[in-house]
Chain A
């Protein structure tokens, strides 16, 4: 009797795993055209609990994302650009553009990975996500995916909510090893936008470019 149960559980596991990739495919199809949104919520910064607000600009077909930080105040004017192979971090106070290969650009200190906010498919390669159910959020019914991160991501687990009727991420909850919330972020003011790659790759022409 134990065997059919085992097979059933295996089949269920495969079905759910299938669902995760299917959900991410739906998100990818839905977010093919350029879009922009605001990500806001609480993060566990170096100085304790802080409010984060950032504008995310995306051209998914070009694998190009830009995150412009508006809060906390110490990050205002800083931005991150994620290209096919690189991550650029512009630091307003020192007027530097730090360019790193994607694999070297791990982020500690923010409690979450800003790269993941724009690039969901990329995030899912570093976090083993599984579907745990559905939840009703203010935006509508959403799939709830949870997963454990590979080492070096700056967080241990992730809860990701994806809107069912308009497949796109609406909430990210990043936790540490002890299960403490490091960042709880909502995606608001989402809209399709007309964006060009050069708009996302803009940086002050007097910035010092540092290649790592």
Chain B
């Protein structure tokens, strides 16, 4: 009886806490998997979880905290533990910025990838550093070992729109070109990035507020087209096989 009371209090506490819940169905090659992601903001930080149940299942539980410096900056950091197919796993991360410097870093391990919620395999990590040289110019460094292995440097200039030029290495050298700017009166944004050479990928995002559209095209051939209409997310594409992913998000209060 005591346990039921405790469970009741925990459920009530989480319901009253600020939170989000995202439930979805992922289908690939005739098999379906359920995906569930949730996060609850509590006084010391956020508790979040991810769960994918299907032919291969995996779940993660994470804790994150943050430091807000008003208009000066923001830093979030946390730890995630995983269990499921292939055994245990985990990840540590920190991301944010203060003044002229922005950082995003994560390091983790899992023995087996499970698309779409756990896409990396083995030891994976990412380090992104960006520094604002002068108000309108930003230089960046990116090191990544995940779905691809790459190193990249970039320079971005903001003149109304932001133009990015960079170079990277992923087996072979590649070129980075980017354009990001406002396309409407209400700060709607179009974001385009093209990588050619050792990595071949076009990424496009159109953000309209109530709706957002995403497109990625890669060679060797892979691609996806996604849309978020308010709280409903629809995505379809090809990644080793055709797939589709439908999600719905709740946020409260």
Contact = CB atoms under 8 A, between A and B. Distances in A.
Interface of A: 46-47, 67, 69, 73-80, 87, 89, 91, 93-94, 96, 98, 100, 105-110, 114, 202-206, 210-212
Contacts of A106: 70
B191 A75 contact: no
Contacts of A206: 189, 191, 205, 207, 212
Given A73-B134, A205-B208, A107 B100 contact: no
Interface stretch (B71-79, B114-122, B144-152, B240-248): B71-79
Contacts of B15: none
Given A75-B99, A204-B182, 17 more contacts: A73-B100, A74-B132, A79-B71, A80-B70, A89-B68, A93-B100, A93-B138, A94-B95, A100-B68, A108-B70, A110-B71, A205-B186, A206-B191, A210-B66, A210-B74, A211-B41, A212-B66
A110 B68 CA distance: 13
Interface residues of B, number: 37
Contact of A75 (B66, B72, B189, B208): B72
Given A46-B72, A89-B68, A108-B69, A205 B102 contact: no
A69 B188 CA distance: 21
Classify the interface of chain A: helix, strand, loop or mixed. loop
B96 interface: yes
Contacts of B30: none
A117 to B, nearest CB: 11
